Amino acid sequence: MSETRQLFGAEDLRAKLYERGYKMTPQRKEILKIFVEHSDRHHMSAEDVYNILRDKDSEIGLATVYRALDLLSKLGILVQVDFGDGCARYELNTADPKIHHHHHLICLKCRKVIEFEEDLLDELEGLIDEEFGFQTINHEVKFFGYCQDCRRSMEGD
Amino acid sequence: MSETRQLFGAEDLRAKLYERGYKMTPQRKEILKIFVEHSDRHHMSAEDVYNILRDKDSEIGLATVYRALDLLSKLGILVQVDFGDGCARYELNTADPKIHHHHHLICLKCRKVIEFEEDLLDELEGLIDEEFGFQTINHEVKFFGYCQDCRRSMEGD
DNA sequence: ATGGGTGCAAAGGTTTTGCACTCCG
DNA sequence: CGGAGTGCAAAACCTTTGCACCCAT
């Protein structure tokens, strides 16, 4: 009875892969593990993951990282987010679809990303289905602006 | 007394450019004109704009298109949006900051983009300033999912 | 006239792909 | 075993940059 185990284990991965006819490999396991271990350090790019692997003396190639991130996203284990900084980023998708609605404040000056929780949009999804017949799988809300620190440092302008 | 003139004219552009020390050029005028003329066909990429220019036998180079799109965004005339399809897209920023809050429904299957208006988030910006001291300049809301057509065509699955 | 702007081509960065080899099931 | 998965390097993309020339101001 380990339903409230931590985030996402190797067996969850195996099951999800098997479900769709993919194989479990050490590479996929290792890459997912990095996201679980770095669940504090959200939204990592392929390069970020690759660098962590190299630090660990892993032999996993960059192409494999890209392929794994893509696959894990398709399986709904990761979600891709894009902060307009020229590379795709990924973060763990928490299991409960009602929980993963955190959003991002992106500072246009220092590029810092602040997260916040907000479930305000759930009701909106219902309206969107009614009006457009559109079934929302995931949504993404980003606020671009200036963070507290940068606002202070710009006061002189 | 032409305050309610159409979208965005050459003189508005000249003024905005001058204001920041940039020059008015035929290229910049032409590129903006494309957005005004194609205000129905939203969110165009640099390549899209370049192709329209080529159809018109314009000599404007792709690098100039990129530079102009970047500049027009900095001036607040265009806004950059990203649908995760590998290239940056741009659309006209309507003059009134309270009006431009339309958002996007992006179909994961056919890549169609549906727009909808929703000002629900204005109140949220106030809360964000209070809580994080973050000053929002612009926000972006995207719903990823399946459109009506694709849902129908997938019914067999 | 003069400094910003342009066009071209080359370089840059991220992501994808072809192919031989490996290894999971 | 057999086919999916991997690693490497090359290719493919989108975007930026260097440079000589051009043209708004």
Using one digit for the tens of pLDDT, what is the confidence trace for B61-114? Answer: 999 999 999 999 999 899 888 888 889 999 998 655 554 567 888 877 777 888
Average pLDDT estimate for B42-57: 94
**CA nearest to nucleotide D4 C1': residue:** A23
**CB atoms inside a 10 Å sphere around CB B109:** 13
Query: Which of B134, B139, B151, B157 best probes binding to A when mutated, by most A CB atoms within 10 angstroms?
Result: B134
Q: What is the pLDDT of residue A51?
A: 96
Q: Flag residues 85-114 of B with CB < 7 Å from strand C.
A: none
B134 by Cβ neighbours in 10 Å (0-12 / 13-18 / 19+) ranks as: buried
Q: Which residues pair with B140 in a beta bridge?
A: A142
Topology (CATH level 3) of domain B1-97? Arc Repressor Mutant, subunit A (1.10.10)
User: Does pLDDT of B15 surpass 60?
Assistant: yes
Å: A2 CA to D14 C1': 46
Percentages helix, strand, coil for chain B (3-state, rounded to 5) are: 40, 20, 40
Domain ranges of chain B: 1-97, 100-157
Q: What is the pLDDT of residue A100?
A: 56
Enter the pTM of the model: 0.80
Is the CB of A138 less than 7 A from some atom of nucleic acid strand D? Answer: no
A88 touches chain B (CB under 8 A): yes
CATH superfamily, with its number, for domain A100-157? Ferric-uptake regulator, C-terminal dimerisarion domain (3.30.1490.190)
